[in-house]
Structure 1
Amino acid sequence: MAFNMSRSEFSAYLNQARITGQVATPRENNLSHFQGFVDGNEHLDFGVSWTRDWTYQDVFALMARRVGTSPDPAHTEGQDTISAELCIDALTVYARIFGQAVKEKQSILFATGHPAGLFPIYVAMAQAARAHGATVLGIDEGDSFLDGDIRQIFDVVMFQQYGNLQHTHFPGPMQLALTQLEKLGTLPQLVVADHGMAGYAASAGLPTIGIADCNDPGLFVSAEQGQILVAVPMDDNVLPHLYEPVIDFILSTAGLDR
């Protein structure tokens, strides 16, 4: 489906769907995650290698500037926000990088730590990449991580435990996938991912584009440090069908048919 919204219409849609605007994540959770990142919480570091020291105040200011969370330090409870304008700006860069990689028929690896939300975005992107001659990389499934393993479904690498695809912030699944590909001499020319999978790939020096929520400061720190090429601020777990206009925007901006 072609994307036929104006920027103002797309912005209004993102806010209405709560992909941006008054999103579901409460202010208290955002602030605790900012502190958790600074403290080195293993669920929040996203595999991001620090190139400078980061304080809570640094992260707080960064998230207001890159994401659109409230800049008021006295606002500690209740509603928080993501800027639709910042989302669209970053999503435009994201789509153009992806489109250029496909145009150049690069090798691309797709991965997600949010199978219940973001998975459909990557499936559509992978299908478009294949259709336009890019190489979508595959992995050998089954390498163990914690008490589960990595799987690749419709070209997207994910982590499963006990037969269930898992929401994970850990970088381990991406580390396993890249180790496999490195042994084969086929490291990706572009990684399209989120959470720890994106953070690890970017810190490893691979060109990476990512999506992150307002309680996920790691990828925005990575972008500030010049590691990840772009981190798109948006709610990462709304109902999957609500991302359909986002998919259309990405593919249209990338110059690709769906």
Structure 2
Amino acid sequence: MNSSEFPGIFSLKGELAVVTGGGTGIGQAIAQAMHAAGARVVLVGRREAELAAAVKTMGEGAAYAVHDITETAGTGALVQRITQEHGSITCLVNNAGRHLKKAAVDTTPQEFLDVINTHIIGAHELTRLVAPGMIERKHGSIIFTASMASLFGIPLVVAYASAKSAMLGMVRTLSTELSSHGIRVNAIAPGWIDTDMSRKAFAGDPARKNKIISRTPMAKLGDVSDVGWAAVYLASPAAKFVTGAVLPVDGGASMGF
């Protein structure tokens, strides 16, 4: 090892990253960080205006495709379109999600299923269709956005917590199936991050924010870029021997009190 390897060991030059839920929040931050690290990026999401605005901030080497990943009948066409227009997908970030804050006894089967369809079924279908190309090229990185709800109990989010916990099972199984083909599969578990969504959740509820800060050893919320740069690391050659891992980016919250 010598200094000439740095910072190139963290470079994503030559990679094509597809980021679902890439128009806002953590997904946008991941796309921006990967783009800054040299990757070309394609943002996938349901809302074109948000996707277009996010791509505009990045400029050349960034594009978007409008698609709802729960519409699995159209996922094959999405992958084909991206491949034809931009080339082979070498990095997939399964970040798209759906949140539901509701007591377990009040959560209906359909509400539960809607959350599972986004985090698990939609992500699996996209992964299933992208993986063969990665296998053929013996090169690829797949990253899932997990959650603190994957690691410990949080009230009023039974569907979300179940989906994020199932996601970790998918990460571990995929890593055992795909790693011998040169494809690494990992997850990031963000803690409480300062996003538009979290600001809305905290609005008018200072006690909730104070509770979160008090149980976070670093005593602050994270920045979306903290997650973005963690994703760059996992996708880069620096993490070439890292697979099946869950990386908390949480200011120490998962360590407990």
What TM-score, normalized by structure 2, do the two folds share? 0.39
Q: Which structure carries more helix by proportion? A: 2
Structure with the bigger RCO (C-alpha within 8 Å, sep 6+) is 1
